[in-house]
Structure 1
């Protein structure tokens, strides 16, 4: 049995060794839950265009309220309009439901190979790379005229799906 002891007597060598150790720790501890950025071109381009959210559903919606995208009550998203531009992954969204605060924002989005819809809500003039918070939802039941985005939230310790139903606007 060998025991290796490293004794570094020079201050500069200590700093270099510490930097190497930190680099190895950061590179070696890469998160495995990172969201893939490889675009699913078929799903991605199928979402191109103008859409409206026709419904937001989840179990217990008559008893609990869900704040969607840290913006508004999920029911305020019903009737909201969304524009998706697939060639540069941009677009915009507008909340316009009665009895809800009006809201319009540019967005950055894409659909990855795992069927995840990745979304960033931007402030006017803000670059997406400066926005650290985003949302990852699952794309479901996609057709040429409709699709669903499914968010998975924790309600009382139980995972619950919030389903945003999109309908194509011609």
Structure 2
């Protein structure tokens, strides 16, 4: 009996612990409303961008995202993104997305791509910066030669 009680207590402690890496889900509705609408990525900057390639969002080379179209709907945190760079090395891609901005200033993104949102277990956490009525930046972390550097996606309102 004592052994069972100890195992039960251990299981309760084990399953009740929360990870400290969990993303804050409290929403920043004011910033979300500012992002509502249609946007285009106009530039992508990171150290070594002249000679390094970065695979953005596990989809395509970062240069293929220049000119991509993004739509954000703030009342249901859905939208769509599409790659349409005429560069012959870039493939076309379009997908529904879910997104939100949390109180920590993070932009949390899921690319749905022919799945239900609840079945997509991975996504991206980017820092939202320089938000204005006509532009904003999303900043991701990348590994460049063993060092963590920022990659900045600059969005302009369409």
**TM-score, with normalisation over the residues of structure 1?**
0.87
5+ residue gaps, structure 2? none
Aligned residues: 156
User: Which residue of structure 1 aligns with residue 82 of structure 2?
Assistant: 94
Q: What does residue range 1-170 of structure 1 map to in structure 2 within 5 Å?
A: 7-8=2-3, 14=4, 17-28=6-17, 30-98=18-86, 99=88, 100-124=90-114, 126-169=115-158
Shift of 1:157: 2.0
- The structure with the largest alpha-carbon Rg is 1
| Moved >3 Å (runs of 4+) | none
User: Which residue of structure 2 aligns with residue 11 of structure 1?
Assistant: none
Q: Take 2:153 and 2:75, find their aligned partners in 1: how far apart are those partners?
A: 23
Shift of 1:23: 2.4
Shift of 1:17: 4.4
**TM-score, with normalisation over the residues of structure 2?**
0.93
Shift of 1:19: 3.9
Shift of 1:129: 1.7
Offset from partner CA, 1:82-140 (integer Å, 9 cap, x none) = 0000000000000000221000000000000011000000022x221211110000011
5+ residue gaps, structure 1? 1-5, 9-13
CA RMSD of aligned residues (A): 1.4
SS of 2:122's partner is: coil
